[in-house]
Chain A
Amino acid sequence: MPVPVRELELDLEAFEGPFDLLLALVLRDELDLGEVDVAGIVLAFLERLAEREELDLDACGEFLVLVAALLELKARALLTGEDGDLEDLDPAQAAEELARRLADYRRIKEAAAWLVDRLDEESDRYFRLGPAPLAPRVERRLAAQDPAELATALRALSAEPPAVSLAHLELRFPPVEQFLGRFRSLLARRTRFDFDTEVDGLTRVEQAVAFLALLELRKAGEIELSQASPFAPIRVRRNAETQTERTTTWTARSA
């Protein structure tokens, strides 16, 4: 049974899954090749290969092609983007540039190795770490204070606040009597009048109270009301027969 190159299971830092999927992701730009450890792929393949008794040349060939393509893509990704003129370099210059970069990386690797050694040597140095157990000194300049003053200040705060006025929320109703009197004196002079013209110019609330007065007079039988149609002017006529002198303390509020 051949080694299935494309189904080779990979367990890398940046990717976990079959080789096939990795290639697909890279080609679709969904995985940054810079993140992929190509050496890890080679190791995984070699381990798989070692599990077999015989050398599978077909699989090796296919793998070699795929990895070479990956490496080429990765190398290109490293070289472009920084200097656009790299493509113009002749092979000798490109090799020089590559050698320079490899040397740079080599030095960094050496520096890292030096740091690792250093850490090894210094790991037996124990020291205090973490947030300072003592906060840096802050200068506080406060005059001597009298506790009684604090008490006074607090007492002022504990006093009951003045009650909030709700006056602005109240509707002010004029007394109904005011309109009763007004309409009666009007009817004393005339036998009929038009309600709408009479209350014209009053506020909405006053008009409402005036209407209540009208109803009151109607109830007492002092007047007769008529209206041609809804919203048409209300006509008021004196009822001459039953005139009563009844006074009322009826107000809108008591309704």
Chain B
Amino acid sequence: MDRPLRLVAANPLDRLARTLEALLVVASQPLPVEELAEAAAEDAERVEMALGLLAERFQEGRSGIVLERVAGGWAFRASREAADACGRLFERPVERGLSQAAMETLAVVAYLGPCSRPEIARLRGVAADSVVAGLVERGLIAEAGREDGGAVRYRTTPLFERVFGLESLSVLPRLDDLGDAEDIRERLESLAEKRPA
């Protein structure tokens, strides 16, 4: 055997991984690396390495618990294959019955936030008051200061990222890639051409 003997004693990284595992299991929201590092009294770089170890161990198909990077931190969740069973026991009330208006408002706030109700109303062409209130109640958006004019501004919450499975807002597709602006312009222009002069 030319391979060196592996020590039976626990690898220190493995020990850190077990500590992180414990921290994540008692947390009820995603924990950022810095917070994990502080609690584990370790430096962030080693915590990242240990998290990599854990992510491998807790992955879909290997474990009923899955470690995911979400909402700017790390969190355990149930594996997707257990979703039916979880669904029989629990609901995901946050997103139940979100209307089209709510989804559009959520999109405005996610992309352009923090933004105020008048801004949302201007973009959607419809007053946004009740929709915004509903989203605040669900915890998907929250107040984030005020405009110069005094209107309250809103931004999406970590819960929004978690419900939608987003690592952060930066993983949203670019707004410019969405919707074909040229398409509309062309249609308007072709309409104008058809109109008798």
Contact = CB atoms under 8 A, between A and B. Distances in A.
B184 interface: yes
Interface string A105-135: 1111111111110110111111111111110
Contact of B106 (A37, A112, A126, A130): A112
Could you tell me the dominant secondary structure of chain A's interface residues? Answer: helix
A95 interface: yes
B83 A124 contact: yes
Given A95-B188, A99-B188, A110 B178 contact: yes
Nearest to B160: A115
B111 A126 contact: no
A126 B107 contact: no
Given A34-B121, A78-B125, A108-B104, A128 B86 contact: no
A102 interface: yes
A112 B82 CA distance: 28
Nearest to A107: B179
Interface residues of A, number: 41
Central interface residue in B110, B121, B181, by most chain A CB within 10 Å = B181
A207 to B, nearest CB: 70
B188 to A, nearest CB: 5
Contacts of B95: 119, 123
Contacts of A122: 163-165
Contacts of B28: 128-134
A103 interface: yes
Given A118-B164, A119-B98, 11 more contacts: A98-B188, A103-B181, A103-B185, A104-B123, A106-B180, A108-B107, A110-B179, A111-B178, A125-B80, A126-B92, A127-B77
19 contacts: A35-B127, A37-B126, A103-B181, A103-B184, A106-B181, A108-B123, A111-B178, A112-B100, A112-B107, A114-B107, A114-B173, A115-B106, A122-B165, A125-B68, A125-B165, A126-B78, A128-B77, A130-B28, A134-B26
